[in-house]
């Protein structure tokens, strides 16, 4: 059995900065209200004339490969986490593959929302551990902004989400890097955070675009209280599971990189684990919730800031739509 290790990280963010003040001109909200509930001060939204999920992912991937000093032609497989692919089908993995000039290698998409990157990392880890591939590109990328209801009716979700992409280069290693990954789901809560359309389980008449009169099914539906209540429990379960599996204690964590869902959730987890501010990486204040992209963007920034050093124990944790939740423990 082989081991896998992250050898490079990269990210890309759209240029357009959307402040809370700007959102207050579109809907009944204000800076204080948004910060108090989410911790978010600003987020990035794409320019539809130039940004796509595929090309943002390709830019993040190129940064990760450059930092890793790995030639793009060494990549043997792509695992791409997104719920906002450029097309309904095919997935964005093949779009990024085309952007990188990697025609012929396998590419798969994972549609697990905020937990998607850790799921993708786990899949890539298994491919390398079994000896099937030596170099796998793992990506999380999202464009949420163009689907948001930017009126007062949609403010509970419109103020939260941002766009962006993050990438990791995973390679076979002699030393353990990815120590373990832990994946969970509970479909009983699928409709607590979901987008109904364009779903397939409808009468034919309801799936024809010219017949669609009610477009509310295309908007994000979120039961914020249920999400928060489950997230704080599942985050802790997943982190403790990862520590127990590797016979480590919470005191052994050098850096926790949680999914950037809500600053209050991250602070709650930090308090429960008794971690210092410098042991938890948060950038939701600047980028909002970028769904599957949030963890790789945060990791890429943390690495660039010197917060991930050799032999450090890095813990990743996420919770999202499904409900799904996951964790990964990494020896850097």
315 in active site:
no
Take residue 70 and report the two structure tokens written for it.
Answer: 């790995």
The angle subtended at Cα 234 by Cα 228 and Cα 236, nearest 5°, is 105
Judge if the upstream peptide bond of residue 250 is cis by omega within 30 degrees of 0: no
259 in active site:
yes
Q: How many angstroms separate the CA atoms of 142 and 319, rounded?
A: 16
> For 228, phi and psi rounded to 5 degrees?
-60, -45
Q: Which position among 12, 114, 182, 262 bears the catalytic label?
A: 114
Q: How many angstroms separate the CA atoms of 234 and 185, rounded?
A: 10
Q: Which position among 182, 259, 262, 315 bears the catalytic label?
A: 259
Smallest CA-to-CA distance from 156 within 227, 234, 64 is with 227
User: For the chain, what is the largest distance between any 2 Cα atoms, rounded to a whole number of angstroms?
Assistant: 58
114 in active site:
yes
Q: How many angstroms separate the CA atoms of 238 and 28, rounded?
A: 37
Please list the residues that pair with 314 across neighbouring strands: 255, 330
CA quadruple 26, 157, 327, 275: dihedral sign:
positive
Q: How many angstroms separate the CA atoms of 140 and 121, rounded?
A: 10
Residues identified as active-site: 114, 259, 289
């Amino acid at each position: 059995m082989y081991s896998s290790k992250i050898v490079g990280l990269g990210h890309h963010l759209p240029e357009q900065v959307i402040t809370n003040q700007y959102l207050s001109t579109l809907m009944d909200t204000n800076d204080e209200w948004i910060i108090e509930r989410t911790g978010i001060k600003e987020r990035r939204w794409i320019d539809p004339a130039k940004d796509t999920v595929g090309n943002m992912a390709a830019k993040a991937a190129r940064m990760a490969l450059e930092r890793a000093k790995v030639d793009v032609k060494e990549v043997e497989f792509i695992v791409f986490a997104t719920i906002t692919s450029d097309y309904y089908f095919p997935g964005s993995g093949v779009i990024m593959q085309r952007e990188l000039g990697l025609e012929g290698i396998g590419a798969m998409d994972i549609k697990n929302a905020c937990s998607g990157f850790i799921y993708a990392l786990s899949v890539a880890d298994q491919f390398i551990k079994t000896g099937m591939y030596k170099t796998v590109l793992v990506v999380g990328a999202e464009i949420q902004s163009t689907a948001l209801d930017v009126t007062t009716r949609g403010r509970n979700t419109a103020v939260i989400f941002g766009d962006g992409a993050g990438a990791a280069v995973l390679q076979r290693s002699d030393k353990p890097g990815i120590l373990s990954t832990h994946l969970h789901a509970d479909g009983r809560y699928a409709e607590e955070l979901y987008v109904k359309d364009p779903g397939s389980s409808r009468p034919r008449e309801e799936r024809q675009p010219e017949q669609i009169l009610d477009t509310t099914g295309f908007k994000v539906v979120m039961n914020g209280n249920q999400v928060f209540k489950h997230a704080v429990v599942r985050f802790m379960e997943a982190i403790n599971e990862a520590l127990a599996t590797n016979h480590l204690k919470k005191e052994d964590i050098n850096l926790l990189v949680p999914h950037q869902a809500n600053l209050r959730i991250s602070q709650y987890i930090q308090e429960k684990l008794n971690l210092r501010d410098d042991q938890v990486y948060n950038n939701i204040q600047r980028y909002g919730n970028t769904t599957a992209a949030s963890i790789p963007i945060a990791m890429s920034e943390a690495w660039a800031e010197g917060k991930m050093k050799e032999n450090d124990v890095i813990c990743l944790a996420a919770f999202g739509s499904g409900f799904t939740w996951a964790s990964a423990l990494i020896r850097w």
